Amino acid sequence: MLQRPRRNRQSATIRTMVEENRLSVKDMMFPLFVMDGAHRKSEIASMPGIHRFSLDLLLKEIEECVELGIRSFALFPQIAEDKKDAMASESYRKGNLYLESIHAIASRFPEISLLTDVAMDPYSSDGHDGIVKNGQILNDETLPILAKMAIAQAQAGSKLIGPSDMMDGRVGYLRESLDEAGFSDVGIMAYTAKYASAFYGPFRDALESAPKFGDKKTYQMNPANQREALREAELDELEGADFLMVKPALAYLDIIALLKENSHLPIAAYNVSGEYAMVKAAALNGWMDGEKAMLESLLAIKRAGAQVILTYFAKEFAQLKIS
Ligand code: PBG
């Protein structure tokens, strides 16, 4: 008997009936950029359709997204160069832009989930994620700064923090610091397998946070490695992570699948700025159907095993009202 898999592809209805994965706006977390000032909105040149907003306009943007069904967001601050220093002291200063934004968002939209970022790079005059001394990025010396940031964010209303610097011992140290400060209900999304990637370029444009010297290869993972991601996952689990994240997503689908198979924690994947920019650039040139490429990329990330997809496409996806 000739096997005919095409029988299950012969109509849209049957194709839908047998499809193994389906995207929903509930899978998605939308990264947002906040900047100083009022009534300000500026498009990021390398990320068409994505803007930095001053807080007043950001709240409006979130409101629109919530109406479209998006319930989950991540927030990153663009900090003026004159507020940056070697110790990122702006990062935990009471009343700073980021903390004020977290507070405003958490009070106005108590039902949403907001991932807040714990890393030095937006505030660092060196453009690195850790304290720099004699050209070295220090691991342990950076921890107390991160703890101050995490606690300040929790006090401002954050319920989920993302230590994104990809250095050692972050999850354990921050878990303990949060618990001691009375924030045992604040979750940690671990940047478990974050690779040293060219795909972060547009994000660094958005925050003007590119490293002033060197690269991030002594802390972010080597794209050549897969087994090392299992080691990182094991450590983050032991240290108390609530989610494991893989980043970038599309070039690392094998890593998403690997962590899904090897952990009981929910897996998140960050469809990063460069992955967004590639699709947009090709679509704007008329070289590809942007909407189809978006849907196929997001589906691939879900199929690989991501339960949460951080993506700059979230709003565009939500506007399609796919049910
Ligand atoms: C740094 C950080 C980066 C991103 C999120 N947090 C980039 C980097 O490591 O320089 C990238 C996100 C994106 O490209 O969309 N803490």
How, if at all, do strands 160-163 and 136-137 pair?
A: unpaired
Q: In this model, does residue 20 exceed pLDDT 90?
A: yes
Q: What pLDDT digit, counting tens, does each position of 135-180 carry?
A: 999 999 999 999 999 999 999 999 999 999 999 999 999 999 999 9
Compute, in angstroms, the gap from residue 16 CA to the centroid of ligand 1: 36
Compute, in angstroms, the gap from residue 51 CA to the centroid of ligand 1: 16
Catalytic member of 83, 159, 194, 216: 194
Position in ligand 1 atom list of the atom nearest CA 276: 15
What's residue 323's pLDDT?
Answer: 79
Length of the chain (residues)? 323
- Decide if 194 is catalytic: yes
Residue to mutate, 76, 91, 121, ligand 1, most ligand atoms under 8 Å from C-beta: 121
Distance in angstroms (rounded) separating the CA atoms of residues 139 and 167: 6
What's residue 180's pLDDT?
Answer: 98
Phi, psi for residue 296 in degrees, rounded to 5: -65, -40
Distance in angstroms (rounded) separating the CA atoms of residues 120 and 98: 13
- Decide if 26 is catalytic: no
Q: What pLDDT digit, counting tens, does each position of 142-154 carry?
A: 999 999 999 999 9
Whether pTM exceeds 0.85 = yes
Q: In this model, does residue 121 exceed pLDDT 90?
A: yes
- Mean per-residue pLDDT of the chain: 97
Position in ligand 1 atom list of the atom nearest CA 210: 10
- CB atoms < 10 A from the CB of 248, how many? 23
What's residue 216's pLDDT?
Answer: 96
Q: What is the mean pLDDT of residues 12-38?
A: 98
Compute, in angstroms, the gap from residue 2 CA to the centroid of ligand 1: 51
What's residue 160's pLDDT?
Answer: 98
38, 100 contact by CB (below 8 A): no
Q: What is the mean pLDDT of residues 181-208?
A: 97
The pLDDT > 70 percentage for the chain reads: 100
Compute, in angstroms, the gap from residue 30 CA to the centroid of ligand 1: 14
Q: What pLDDT digit, counting tens, does each position of 218-270 carry?
A: 999 999 999 999 999 999 999 999 999 999 999 999 999 999 999 999 999 99
Compute, in angstroms, the gap from residue 76 CA to the centroid of ligand 1: 9
167, 192 contact by CB (below 8 A): no
Q: What pLDDT digit, counting tens, does each position of 51-62 carry?
A: 999 999 999 999
Distances (CA, A) of 157 to 100, 121, 151, 277: 10, 22, 10, 32
Q: What is the mean pLDDT of residues 289-311?
A: 98
Compute, in angstroms, the gap from residue 19 CA to the centroid of ligand 1: 33
Catalytic member of 84, 159, 247, 315: 247
Which amino acids bring their CB within 6 angstroms of ligand 1? 119, 121, 129, 164-165, 200, 203-204, 216, 272-273
Position in ligand 1 atom list of the atom nearest CA 194: 9
Q: What pLDDT digit, counting tens, does each position of 67-81 carry?
A: 999 999 999 999 999
Any long-range contacts for 280-288 (C-beta under 8 Å, 24+ apart)?
Answer: 280/47, 280/48, 280/49, 281/48, 284/48
Closest-CA residue, ligand 1 atom 5, reads 164
Closest-CA residue, ligand 1 atom 11, reads 200
28, 22 contact by CB (below 8 A): no
Question: Could you tell me the end-to-end alpha-carbon distance of the chain, in angstroms, rounded to an integer?
Answer: 38
